[in-house]
Every structure is written in C-alpha cells, then in structure tokens.
Amino acid sequence: MIQIIITDSPRVCRDHGDSRCMRHWINGATAVVPFDDTRGDPLTEPSHTNDEACRRAAACIASASGLLITAGAGMGVDSGLPDFRGTEGFWRAYPTLGAAGLRFEEVASPGTFHADPRLAWGFYGHRLNLYRATQPHAGFGLLRAIARHLPDGAFVLTSNVDGQFQKAGFLDDAIYEVHGSIHDLQCLAPCSELVWPGGEYAPAVDAAGCRLVSEPPRCGACGGLARPNVLMFGDDGWIGARAAVQRRHFDRWIARTARPVIIELGAGTAIPTVRRIGDTLGAPLIRINTREPQVSQPGHLGIAAGAREALLRITGALRALEPAFATARR
Ligand SMILES: [Zn+2]
C-alpha cells in the first residue's frame, strides 16, 4: 500500500479534524493518509484521498520557481539497481562477499584498495559496468519535464555515485554529487588533487568471484594505483575538488532560485546526508520513500512509494492542475 504523510497540521487529523483519529496518525505527530485504493485494505480511503494528496504535491510544484531534486540509493531501484540496504541487501547483491562475511563498509574502503586491489576493483568495476549498462527509469524523464515547466529549472543533489542523472540528460553544471562519482578516477595515494574522467577504463570482472581480472587503472602522475573518486567509509584520501566545484554550482542555483521546491527520492536514514540537506533548506519538501517517508516539518509531504510510481502520480495531478504543463515539451 502507498501512503501519503502530511504534517501541515501536526496535531489534528486533517481528514476528520480530530486529534484522536488513530487511522490517520502515527507517533502522534504525523498524519498518514493511505495513498492507494487497494480493494479490501482496512486502511484504504476513497480515491479522493489520493487525489487530494497528489493535488497537494502538484500545487507545491506549481507554485515553485525551481525544482531541487535530492536523491539517494532508492532512486535507482526502479532502474534495477541494488541499493545495498542493510548487510543482507548488500550480500544479496554480492553473494561472494556475503560468503566471505565481508560487509559493505569493509569492501567500500581505501584500506581494501591497499590490501586487496583486485577485490576492491572487482566490486567497483562490477558496479561501474552495471551503471554504464543501466538505462534510467521513466521517473528521470518526468523530473526533467517538471524542470522544463519551472523558470529556474532544476538542480540535482545526490549521494548516488552512479551517474544516472547525467545519463538521463541533466547537465553537469546542474548536478552536485556529494559522495563523488564512480565514473571519475583519482590516485589512491593520493599524490595530487587531480580527478580525471574514467571513461576509457573498462574493467573486466569475474562477477562470481567479485575480482578484477584485467589490469587496474593507474595514476598518470606517479604510476600508483588509481581508484574511483567515490567517498568511501573511513576515507581520508578522497579528493573533493570536483565535488567542490559542483557545490559552488549548487550554492549559486539555490541563491538565485526564489521559490525552490524539493522532491527527495529514495534517501534513507542510514547515511542521512541527503535527508538532512532537504530538512534544513527551509523549502517545501516532497519526500518519496518506500520505507522511510516520515517527515517532521509543517508543509512537508511524505509519500511511501517508489520513485517512478510516485512521480507518475504527481505529474498526473500536475497536468490536471496546470494545462500548460500538460502541453509542455516532454
Ligand atoms: Zn598518483
């Protein structure tokens, strides 16, 4: 079931005007309005509840001048990408590493690049090949359609390192990858601040063994091992120069955008960087998250759904609300 969580009236059920309404309240602070009209579900509301929830999200977007898209690992799930949720999720994606009892935090670390570079590059090389082969799902296109409708356009802030927003057509100077990108490389040592595109590097990986079977990439300056420009766990060697440039683009966009609205997609609480940014910017926020849609501020919306499905519903409501959007260039 999909749910909409609304906090514009934090003490009173907005459907019944009654603070004792337990059907619409969870934890005493958040209204949970069922979003799906699945037949027979005891929490199901009539379809007008869906319409109202979609209308609210669409109205937020229609009154905004620009769209800030904040995205975590859940954004890629509808494209078929793993989100490594929890140790079990990581081991399901990489059973060989599970059999060895290796956790995500251990493999995704500069220490593993030093100690066992073929294992580290087996993991990152497999992911690099996967991301290169993956086509972004329809939700990315819907976000671009919304952006074209707003005078200040859109900016993407993401903890994902997969490059899917660029692949979907978002411009480089409108993306801030806070944890770097797997598509760029740097020296492992590092011997300099240099970050370079890794487009020509094509790792050959034994997927079953999660090991690199071709040569690893090298630093052009010192000849040492190169690694992805991804912020890993326990990583004091990450070169943040590229991300710093992106950060300046973000600061400029947010400064000149009079009325931003935030759509947050699949950003979890385990690594809360993206959620914290959305919560602290002071802009209306639409949180789309299958498992953790909770919101805590007035005017914020939480939608318990996958990214693609929620965006389809919201853009449907936006088209109904704004005829200009319905005829906008797709
Ligand atoms: Zn070097």
CATH of the domain at 25: 3.40.50.1220
- % of the chain with per-residue pLDDT over 90: 62
Domain identity same for 152 and 279: yes
Domain identity same for 150 and 124: no
Domain identity same for 62 and 174: yes
Domain identity same for 250 and 310: yes
Domain identity same for 320 and 200: no
Give, as one character, the DSSP assignment of residue 296. -
Residue 16 falls in the annotated catalytic set: no
Q: What is the mean pLDDT of residues 120-147?
A: 96
Pairwise pLDDT comparison (321 vs 7), residue with the higher score:
321
Cα 69 to ligand 1 centroid, rounded to whole Å: 34
pLDDT tens-digit map of 269-289: 887 889 999 999 999 999 999
Taking the C-alpha atoms of residue 11 and residue 224, their distance in angstroms, rounded to an integer, is 59
Residue 25 lies in a domain: yes
- What residue type is 263 in one-letter code? I
Domain identity same for 246 and 304: yes
Q: Are 298 and 11 in contact (CB under 8 A)?
A: no
Cα 273 to ligand 1 centroid, rounded to whole Å: 29
β-partners of residue 30 are 26
Q: How far apart are the first and last CA of the chain?
A: 30
Longest CA–CA separation in the chain, Å: 68
Full domain range(s) for residue 275: 12-77+137-179+241-328
Number of domains in the chain: 2
For residue 204, the domain's CATH number is 3.30.1600.10
Cβ-proximal residues to 241 (8 Å cutoff; 6+ apart), any chain: 193, 195
3-state secondary structure of 54: helix
Cα 227 to ligand 1 centroid, rounded to whole Å: 10
Structure tokens at 150: 């707003």
Residue 154 has phi, psi (to 5 degrees) of: -135, 155
- Reported in sequence order, the residue ranges of the chain that DSSP labels E, i.e. its strands, are 3-6, 25-26, 30-34, 66-71, 154-158, 175-177, 180-187, 195-197, 205-206, 211-212, 226-230, 260-265, 285-288, 301-304
pLDDT tens-digit map of 156-170: 999 999 999 999 999
Q: Are 122 and 107 in contact (CB under 8 A)?
A: no
pLDDT tens-digit map of 18-41: 333 322 222 222 333 333 333 322
Domain identity same for 56 and 159: yes
Domain identity same for 211 and 294: no
Position 13 scores a pLDDT of 33
Position 257 scores a pLDDT of 97
Residue 249 has phi, psi (to 5 degrees) of: -60, -40
Position 51 scores a pLDDT of 58
| Average pLDDT along the chain | 83
Using the 3D structure, point to which of 230, 263, 297 is the last residue of a domain. 230
134 pLDDT exceeds 50?
yes
Position 96 scores a pLDDT of 87
Cα 161 to ligand 1 centroid, rounded to whole Å: 22
pLDDT tens-digit map of 185-217: 999 999 999 999 999 999 999 988 999 999 999
Domain identity same for 173 and 315: yes
Q: Which residues of 169-192 are buried (b: 16+ CB within 10 A; e: fewer)?
A: ebeeebbbbbbbbbbbbbbbbbee
* Per annotation, catalytic residue among 179, 183, 249, 300: 179
Cα 194 to ligand 1 centroid, rounded to whole Å: 9
Pairwise pLDDT comparison (182 vs 1), residue with the higher score:
182
Q: Are 317 and 57 in contact (CB under 8 A)?
A: yes
Cα 219 to ligand 1 centroid, rounded to whole Å: 5
Domain identity same for 246 and 271: yes
Domain identity same for 90 and 66: no
4 pLDDT exceeds 50?
no
- What residue type is 277 in one-letter code? I
Residue 6 lies in a domain: no
pTM of the model: 0.83
Position 298 scores a pLDDT of 83
pLDDT tens-digit map of 303-319: 888 999 999 999 999 98
Position 52 scores a pLDDT of 66
Residue 144 lies in a domain: yes
Cα 197 to ligand 1 centroid, rounded to whole Å: 15
Residue 235 lies in a domain: no
